[in-house]
Amino acid sequence: MTQTQVAILGSGNIGTDLMLKVLRLSSVLQMGVLAGIDEQSEGLARARGLGVSTTDRGLDGLMTMPEWRDIRIVFDATSANAHARHDELCRRHGKRIIDLTPAAIGPYCVPVVNLDSQLDRPNLNMVTCGGQATIPIVHAVRRVADRVVYAEIVASMSSRSAGPGTRANIDEATRTTARGIEVVGGAEKGKAVIILNPAEPPLIMRNTVYILSVGASQAAIETSVAEMISRVQRYVPGYRLKHSVQFEEYGPGRALHIPALGSVHGLRSTVFLEVEGAAHYLPAYAGNLDIMTSAGLHAAERIAQIGQRQS
């Protein structure tokens, strides 16, 4: 079977982990070039040791390489600020883009929720690691409820797993996650809190999802959440429910006050998750890295499979 050539922009934690996933896991994609901007970066050194072509001149350098002609999909693992230019240039040259920054130029994509409706788009934005971990749960409740009035997520990850790019993007990541909770998850109002935990030894990624819904039973929510977790586990095996779903009812005589919404009623579901990484590059505690690169890989493979069937 002919493989689809891909390039990765960014030789930091996310780009390097994604490169290793393409090399080790994918029978659909072929690793073409890893492009960074630091000649001494560990990611570029790792790529060269594995026989992968590299450039330390970013996208500009990549476009001068002979491999550029055969590249079909470009993963952007740089920064939200850099992505705007990368998007413009890649589109001009007819390259599909999987955006792993929180730039949100393309539509938000969470594979288990809306990938099928986005497969023909030139740029897919993979939201954020917190979004990939929690938006499926918000959607799981929304699909069995009349309304999801409010959803709030708290994503906590080890500070060791957050490189310079992640830290530079933290404000954009928070805003993008909150918006993704609404646009993809289906909440009328979304909020995101992202925590870089400095604890030693490093802690595994943990996510807490609070959802206030109307018109769904506890049993329906539990079943929907369990099914959604099983679907995510197909491409992120370390994704799991940490505790049974917790419920609290806010009826007519007991309102829940939410800033910007006022007093609201409904069923509050609290879902506790953890994400253990596959340790392709960073240790297993870096589940935040693993779920982001796994989602990007999954999306690219689906795009590639369709392209291969059509050619």
- In terms of domains, do 26 and 134 share one? no
Residue 90 annotated among the catalytic residues of the structure: no
- Over residues 69-82, the pLDDT tens digits come to 999 999 999 999 99
- In this predicted structure, what is the pLDDT of residue 50? 98
Q: Give the per-residue pLDDT at 311.
A: 66
Structural tokens at position 5: 């050539």
Looking at the structure, tell me whether residues 45 and 16 fall in a common domain. Answer: yes
Round the average pLDDT of the chain to a whole number and report it.
95
Read off the pLDDT band of 98 (50, 70, 90). Answer: very high
Q: What is the pLDDT of residues 161-193, one digit of tens each?
A: 887 878 888 998 999 999 999 999 999 999 999
Q: 106 and 39 in one domain?
A: yes
Q: Which three-class secondary structure state does DSSP give residue 55? A: strand
The answer to whether residues 40 and 60 belong to one domain is yes
- Does 27 score more than 90 pLDDT? yes
Q: Are residues 156 and 240 in the same domain?
A: yes
Stronger pLDDT, 1 or 131, i.e. the higher one: 131
Residues 299, 275 share a domain: no
pTM value is 0.95
C-beta of residue 99 within 8 angstroms of C-beta of residue 123: yes
More confidently predicted of 60 and 253: 60
**Distance separating alpha carbons of residues 90 and 93, to the nearest angstrom:** 5
Separation CA 133–CA 274 (nearest Å): 9
Rg, Å, the chain Cα set: 20
Query: What is the CATH number for 299?
Result: 3.40.50.720
Give me the number of domains the chain comprises.
2
Its domain, for residue 169, covers 129-284
Q: Assess whether 159 and 268 both reside in one domain.
A: yes
Structure tokens at 253: 């005589």
Return the pLDDT at 168: 83
Reported as a single tens digit per residue, the pLDDT across 254-301 is 988 888 888 999 999 999 999 999 999 989 999 999 999 999 999 999
- What's the CATH number where 268 sits? 3.30.360.10
Q: Taking the alpha carbons of 44, 99, 306, 239 in that order, is the dihedral positive or negative?
A: positive
Contacts of 69 (CB under 8 A, 6+ apart): none
In a shared domain, residues 240 and 141: yes
Asked if 104 and 139 sit in the same domain, the reply is no
Query: What share of the chain has pLDDT > 90, as a percent?
Result: 88
Segment 103-123 shows an average pLDDT of 96
Question: pLDDT at position 90, please?
Answer: 98
Give the tens place of pLDDT for each residue, 28-60: 999 999 999 999 999 999 999 999 999 999 999
Q: What is the pLDDT of residues 82-97, one digit of tens each?
A: 999 999 999 999 999 9
Of the candidates 29, 105, 124, 129, the residue annotated as catalytic is: 129
pLDDT at 1: 65
Contact 9, 285 (CB under 8 A): no
Share of the chain above pLDDT 70, in %: 99
Residues 13 and 151 in one domain: no
Q: Do residue 165 and residue 107 come from a single domain?
A: no
